[in-house]
Protein backbone atom coordinates (compact mmCIF):
# COMPACT_ATOMS: atom_id res chain seq x y z
CA UNK A 1 0.00 0.00 0.00
CA UNK A 2 1.24 3.47 -0.86
CA UNK A 3 0.96 5.74 2.13
CA UNK A 4 0.55 9.12 0.44
CA UNK A 5 -2.45 11.37 -0.09
CA UNK A 6 -2.79 13.82 -2.96
CA UNK A 7 -5.36 16.60 -3.24
CA UNK A 8 -7.59 17.36 -6.22
CA UNK A 9 -9.00 20.87 -6.55
CA UNK A 10 -12.81 20.77 -6.45
CA UNK A 11 -13.02 23.72 -8.85
CA UNK A 12 -10.52 23.03 -11.66
CA UNK A 13 -9.41 19.44 -10.99
CA UNK A 14 -5.67 20.09 -10.67
CA UNK A 15 -3.93 17.45 -8.57
CA UNK A 16 -1.49 18.61 -5.88
CA UNK A 17 1.04 16.57 -3.97
CA UNK A 18 1.97 17.67 -1.42
CA UNK A 19 -0.98 19.72 -0.21
CA UNK A 20 -1.18 23.47 -0.78
CA UNK A 21 -3.45 25.96 0.96
CA UNK A 22 -4.72 27.20 -2.41
CA UNK A 23 -4.88 25.60 -5.82
CA UNK A 24 -1.82 26.60 -7.84
CA UNK A 25 -4.02 27.05 -10.94
CA UNK A 26 -7.27 28.70 -9.83
CA UNK A 27 -6.55 29.70 -6.17
CA UNK A 28 -9.57 27.72 -4.91
CA UNK A 29 -9.32 26.41 -1.31
CA UNK A 30 -11.40 23.22 -1.38
CA UNK A 31 -9.80 19.88 -2.21
CA UNK A 32 -10.78 16.22 -2.43
CA UNK A 33 -8.32 13.68 -1.02
CA UNK A 34 -7.18 11.05 -3.53
CA UNK A 35 -4.75 8.14 -3.36
CA UNK A 36 -2.36 7.14 -6.16
CA UNK A 37 -3.81 4.36 -8.29
CA UNK A 38 -2.23 1.77 -10.52
CA UNK A 39 1.32 1.68 -11.75
CA UNK A 40 3.42 4.74 -12.44
CA UNK A 41 5.30 6.12 -15.45
CA UNK A 42 8.78 7.61 -15.00
CA UNK A 43 8.79 11.30 -15.94
CA UNK A 44 12.35 12.28 -14.96
CA UNK A 45 15.22 11.03 -12.80
CA UNK A 46 18.69 11.87 -11.54
CA UNK A 47 21.51 10.39 -9.49
CA UNK A 48 22.73 11.97 -6.27
CA UNK A 49 26.33 11.21 -5.34
CA UNK A 50 26.85 13.65 -2.43
CA UNK A 51 24.37 12.25 0.09
CA UNK A 52 23.60 13.79 3.48
CA UNK A 53 24.51 12.10 6.74
CA UNK A 54 22.52 8.96 7.46
CA UNK A 55 22.70 7.29 4.05
CA UNK A 56 24.89 4.21 3.70
CA UNK A 57 24.69 4.00 -0.09
CA UNK A 58 27.33 5.44 -2.44
CA UNK A 59 24.61 7.13 -4.50
CA UNK A 60 20.83 7.27 -4.90
CA UNK A 61 18.67 7.43 -7.96
CA UNK A 62 15.56 9.51 -7.43
CA UNK A 63 12.78 10.25 -9.85
CA UNK A 64 9.39 11.79 -10.42
CA UNK A 65 6.68 9.43 -11.60
CA UNK A 66 3.02 9.86 -12.54
CA UNK A 67 0.42 7.33 -11.44
CA UNK A 68 -2.44 6.23 -13.69
CA UNK A 69 -4.87 8.67 -12.00
CA UNK A 70 -2.57 11.68 -12.52
CA UNK A 71 -0.88 11.89 -9.10
CA UNK A 72 2.80 12.84 -9.47
CA UNK A 73 5.28 11.97 -6.72
CA UNK A 74 9.02 11.82 -6.13
CA UNK A 75 10.79 8.81 -4.67
CA UNK A 76 13.85 6.61 -4.74
CA UNK A 77 14.26 4.29 -7.71
CA UNK A 78 15.50 0.78 -7.07
CA UNK A 79 18.03 0.37 -9.87
CA UNK A 80 21.72 -0.49 -9.94
CA UNK A 81 22.54 1.95 -12.73
CA UNK A 82 20.78 4.99 -14.21
CA UNK A 83 21.68 3.64 -17.66
CA UNK A 84 18.99 0.98 -17.09
CA UNK A 85 16.29 3.67 -16.83
CA UNK A 86 14.48 5.77 -19.42
CA UNK A 87 11.65 8.27 -19.23
CA UNK A 88 8.26 6.78 -19.91
CA UNK A 89 9.11 3.36 -18.48
CA UNK A 90 6.51 1.70 -16.22
CA UNK A 91 7.24 1.47 -12.50
CA UNK A 92 5.65 -0.14 -9.48
CA UNK A 93 5.52 1.82 -6.23
CA UNK A 94 5.95 0.72 -2.63
CA UNK A 95 6.13 2.32 0.82
CA UNK A 96 9.25 1.04 2.55
CA UNK A 97 12.30 2.16 4.54
CA UNK A 98 14.48 4.63 2.64
CA UNK A 99 17.08 4.92 5.43
CA UNK A 100 17.63 4.28 9.12
CA UNK A 101 18.14 6.92 11.81
CA UNK A 102 19.47 5.67 15.15
CA UNK A 103 18.41 2.17 14.15
CA UNK A 104 14.82 3.18 13.37
CA UNK A 105 13.47 2.99 9.80
CA UNK A 106 12.37 6.14 7.98
CA UNK A 107 9.72 5.24 5.41
CA UNK A 108 9.26 6.75 1.98
CA UNK A 109 8.17 6.08 -1.56
CA UNK A 110 10.27 3.73 -3.67
CA UNK A 111 9.80 2.87 -7.32
CA UNK A 112 10.97 -0.29 -9.10
CA UNK A 113 11.13 -0.85 -12.87
CA UNK A 114 8.58 -3.39 -14.07
Q: What is the pLDDT of residue 57?
A: 84
**Per-domain residue ranges of the chain:** 1-35, 37-113
Q: What does the pLDDT read at residue 54?
A: 72
Beta strands in 1-114 (DSSP E): 6-9, 15-16, 31-34, 40-48, 60-67, 72-77, 90-101, 104-113
Give the pLDDT confidence score for residue 103 in this predicted structure.
86
Q: What is the pLDDT of residue 99?
A: 86
pLDDT band at 1 (very low <50, low <70, confident <90, very high): low
pLDDT band at 83 (very low <50, low <70, confident <90, very high): very high
Which CATH number is 37-113 given?
2.40.50
3-state secondary structure of 9: strand
Q: Are strands 90-101 and 40-48 parallel, antiparallel or unpaired?
A: antiparallel
Global confidence as pTM: 0.88
Amino acid sequence: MINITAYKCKKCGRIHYPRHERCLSCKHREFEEIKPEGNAKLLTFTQIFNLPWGFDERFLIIGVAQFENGVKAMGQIKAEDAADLHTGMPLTASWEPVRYVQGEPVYGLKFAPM
